[in-house]
Chains A and B, each alone.
Chain A
């Protein structure tokens, strides 16, 4: 009994913190989304309840479809390449060799850099007039591409930068998953005369499936949240061509002279719904793996 009391005493600060710093902002966000806030009533309070009017505004806006589609494309394409390249690198590093630990550590650098650093570096690499990428295209005889300033390429550009940032995470997690696969399995497979490729498809890949699922689901949760990279490189533009739900929500609330907090919060709440579904899926898969 005494230890139970002590147990809760140690938790009280955290629980109070979660209430103040998580529950309260989330509640504020819901409140913002169902009221007709103006800049003045934002400070003074007393904005009228408008029910789902902000949601109706958001769903009726043509940008909503673009932002949703871009969010899906950005997420799916990022995950596919981050995972594939990360897995290839993990397999490459799985057999230790001279310098392998050092090189693996260096691979982590893109993941640890502040996003504003990575995003601005990529923005300069992809700059239309002075970027290295267009200079390289010129060398091989191709014309310049307006990577960040044309609607056809802006989403591709931010996705490329995001893939680069995400590879290290996939590498590290998949690498440690590979380390947990017993050596005996590979020996048995080699004794049966399996080639490297066969061993990968029939032994390694299936055994790695639990770790792969967790990696992809965590990646999904992270990628839905991405804001900095896109905002710094393109601000979601030009004309909304690279906007996602996260950047659109920010743009509505903070990107214009006249903020529209209601619609901004409404978009945020749509995003949180998607993120929580992805998150619950992750927790379910993780729990099931812990049981088995």
Chain B
């Protein structure tokens, strides 16, 4: 009865994902064909773009992984204890803090970037990987606290009371009960922290553009800025940069959906 929806849905998805297909197609096109009328399928597929990525972009790739992993760790270390406190220990002033976190998410990145730049120049810490990690974490920390708070709030109070009666202190309850019980929230927060740090271009461009270790987004940007724009290499790098997003969709779809809707829709 609803069978017409499947082919139409496939068609709509194909239209929506066409630019992604095009990116892959161009990444396989030889430079000699690039100025000819574009062909819908790679007729003379080549790996020259990817070979160049392997030759030139591996250090950028490594930096991106390092920055993204560092951001995940920093974000979780800051956000998880705070979320536990907001959800379960409920100290005075938690509403005000929640409000601050909501507002913090709305500050445009360009303003944070300029402010960080001013501070980093003064302290002489521009072009450092850990400086970039610190800046990138600001994209994820407020979101991580809010989503972890909502996950941790659903751990029953009775369980925690029983633990307290058995002599567990707040730290013990946090580590052995609340944290394991809300691991879906931890995964969601970590996924988004990784993805945002991996994708960041603005902080990288402002704070790390002269650094020894630069992330992949700057690698792509350099390619685009070159005069002899080699679009198969640009698109091959773009394909490589898209791998984490694709992996997330495949292995962690429900976490992604949970992250998108959190804060927007209450269940």
Contact = CB atoms under 8 A, between A and B. Distances in A.
Interface of A: 3-4, 6-11, 13-15, 17-18, 21-22, 24-29, 31-32, 42-43, 45, 89, 92-93, 95, 97-100, 103, 105-118, 120-125, 129-132, 135, 138, 164, 167-169, 172-173, 176-177, 180, 211, 214-215, 218, 221, 224-225, 227-228, 232, 246, 249-250, 253-254, 261, 264-265, 268-269, 271-272, 275-276, 278-280, 282-283, 286, 289-290
Contacts of A135: 37-38
A132 B110 contact: no
Contacts of B71: none
A14 B145 contact: yes
20 contacts: A7-B94, A11-B81, A13-B82, A14-B78, A15-B97, A29-B115, A43-B122, A100-B6, A108-B253, A109-B245, A109-B249, A110-B16, A112-B249, A114-B245, A121-B238, A232-B201, A250-B113, A261-B114, A268-B108, A269-B111
Contact of B85 (A11, A115, A253, A268): A11
Contact of A117 (B23, B121, B256): B23
B217 A114 contact: yes
A8 B89 CA distance: 9
Contacts of B141: 14, 17, 21
From B135, B220, B260, name the one whose CB has the most chain A CB atoms within 10 angstroms. Answer: B260
Contacts of B265: 173, 176-177, 180, 211, 214
Interface string B78-114: 1101101110011110100101101111111111111
Nearest to B100: A18
Interface residues of B, number: 96
A206 B86 CA distance: 34
Contacts of A6: 85, 89, 169-170
Contacts of A10: 81-82, 84-85, 89, 170, 174
Nearest to B25: A132
B137 A21 contact: yes
Contacts of A180: 265, 267
B34 interface: yes
Contacts of A18: 100, 104
Interface string B234-267: 1100100110011011000100110011011111
Given A135-B38, A290-B266, A249 B110 contact: yes
Nearest to A33: B114
Interface of chain A: mostly helix, strand, loop or mixed? helix
Given A7-B90, A117-B220, A225-B108, A110 B20 contact: yes
Contact of A232 (B221, B231, B245, B249): B221
Contacts of B23: 117, 121
Given A97-B5, A103-B9, A173-B260, A110 B19 contact: yes
B162 interface: no
Nearest to A165: B19
A13 B22 contact: no
A171 to B, nearest CB: 9
B41 interface: no
Contacts of B234: 120, 124
Contacts of A31: 118
